[in-house]
Structure 1
């Protein structure tokens, strides 16, 4: 472990990735979203695709763990199980796709998906129809596939699951639990398939510190009366991170 930590700290470009983790934490702290949308485009400039999503999973299981008891207590267990069932089915397929894409294609995909998600968030577009149990399975499957292929398991759930008849408290609880269990499943599937990279995992654990510090700062900065301002700042930062990840712009050197 000490050797892995030494190698992790020696990673070229780690300072930029750590800064991205911190900024992502700040945005998450005062807006409630944005970790992957900010972190992935920057990290993909420094690490291979698989390392990028594994480090994100490792980074993102630390802070949310403290919220899990409340999330499980306030959430909707049946819908959560349906979501995770869909993830189990299609996460391996997404990982299979990930292992066969060129790193530049991965960077394009992450950046373009991030920009697409940003457009949807800014426009306020939401699915307005009824969400049935089979659809929840499908939403979970879409999240599993996108999570495995591009490290973005959240958009399908965030955009469509909010159309459910559940209260905002239940939706937030289930979303929190879904993302937490997705990270655990990703790590487990990589272990089973032999794709687990210990160094990438240790890098993610190290990045949990700036991410947690950012979360705490973002939470301290939040004031309900300025929510629109915070979301505006979050959108600008997400756009900047997504554009920086486009290979033809070569912001990463």
Structure 2
């Protein structure tokens, strides 16, 4: 496989380790796989292929637990998913007409905003406000197309509210699975989807599956306070990384 030939042995080992660790974070917090995995994959693949490969892995692991996600997700997740499907193409178009520096600045600002939102007091009634749910869906779709990262708007929306942790995780993961599917469809329509990516995703999937399983087990053993701290730390790290790229 040509894509495998692009990796030196140490790079393959690093990618497998990254797939495992990013999936562990996903299982633990309900998000984070793309934030951690895409930059490492981009060392040997183009950014587009790195995003699409991560999308494949996200879809694979999401389908492996789809019944649990559908059963546990809040109803608002379906509204957000519908808006993500509608607005992802617009995000791709915006990416095509902006310079890389402007794109990096926008991503950094959104990541910082998400981190700041996590620090706010928990809010119980946001799910009853259609404008808030709609804004999250639109922004998440734009971010899916623009950067392959639907998480920054979605994570504060669920983690920052006083709802059960498992409902928040299921809602986020269901949205991310559907957003990744939308990203793959958009990539195919635009002609940028390399069909040698799925076999590579299959090769990495056992490490993702194991990491996700262990993360889920660990999540059940920690309190809500520590879980929210872990979520905030990952969002903060992503925001700092985005700012470092600008500098």
- Asked whether 1:97 is paired with 2:88, we answer no
Question: How far apart are 1:47 and its partner, in Å?
Answer: 3.5
| C-alpha RMSD of matched pairs (Å) | 3.8
Q: Look up the match of 2:179.
A: 182
Mapping 1:160-171, distance limit 5 Å:
160-161=157-158, 170-171=167-168
What is the Cα deviation at residue 91 of structure 1?
0.1
Q: Match for 2:83 among 81, 86, 98?
A: 86
Give the gaps of 5 or more residues in structure 1: none
* 1:95-244 equivalent positions in 2, closer than 5 A: 95-100=92-97, 110=107, 113-122=110-119, 129=126, 131-161=128-158, 170-222=167-219, 224-225=221-222, 228=225, 232=229, 243=240
Query: Against the structure 1 CA distance between its residues 244 and 133, is the aligned structure 2 distance closer, same or farther, given a 3 Å change threshold?
Result: closer
Q: Distance in 2 between matches of 1:67 and 1:14?
A: 27
Deviation at 1:191, TM superposition (A): 1.5
- The CA deviation at 1:153 is 0.6
Distance 1:176 1:199, change over 3 A: same
Displacement after TM superposition at 1:54 (Å): 1.0
Instruction: Give, in whole Å, the separation in 2 of the partners of 1:227 and 1:28.
Output: 16
- Say how many residue pairs are matched: 246
Provide TM-score, normalisation by structure 2: 0.74
Unaligned segments of structure 2, at least 5 residues: none
User: Which shifted more, 92-101 or 177-186?
Assistant: 92-101
The answer to whether the Cα contact below 8 Å between 2:79 and 2:133 also exists between their aligned partners in 1 is: yes
CA distance in 1, matches of 2:22, 2:111: 13
Shift of 1:163: 7.1
Alignment of 1:49-64 (within 5 A): 49-64=47-62
TM-score of the pair, normalised by structure 1: 0.73
Deviation, 1:139, is 1.9
CA contact (8 A) 1:127 1:160 kept: no
Find the counterpart in structure 2 of residue 68 from structure 1. Answer: 66
Equivalent in the alignment of 1:26: 24
Question: Residues 16 and 128 (structure 1 numbering): CA distance in 2 closer, same or farther, change over 3 Å?
Answer: farther
Distance in 2, matches of 1:41 and 1:53, equals 9
CA–CA distance in structure 2, aligned partners of residues 189 and 221 of structure 1: 34
Conserved in 2, the CA contact under 8 Å of 1:22 and 1:211?
A: yes
**Distance verdict in 2 for CA 1:203–1:8, change over 3 Å:** farther
Shift of residue 9, structure 1, vs aligned partner = 5.0
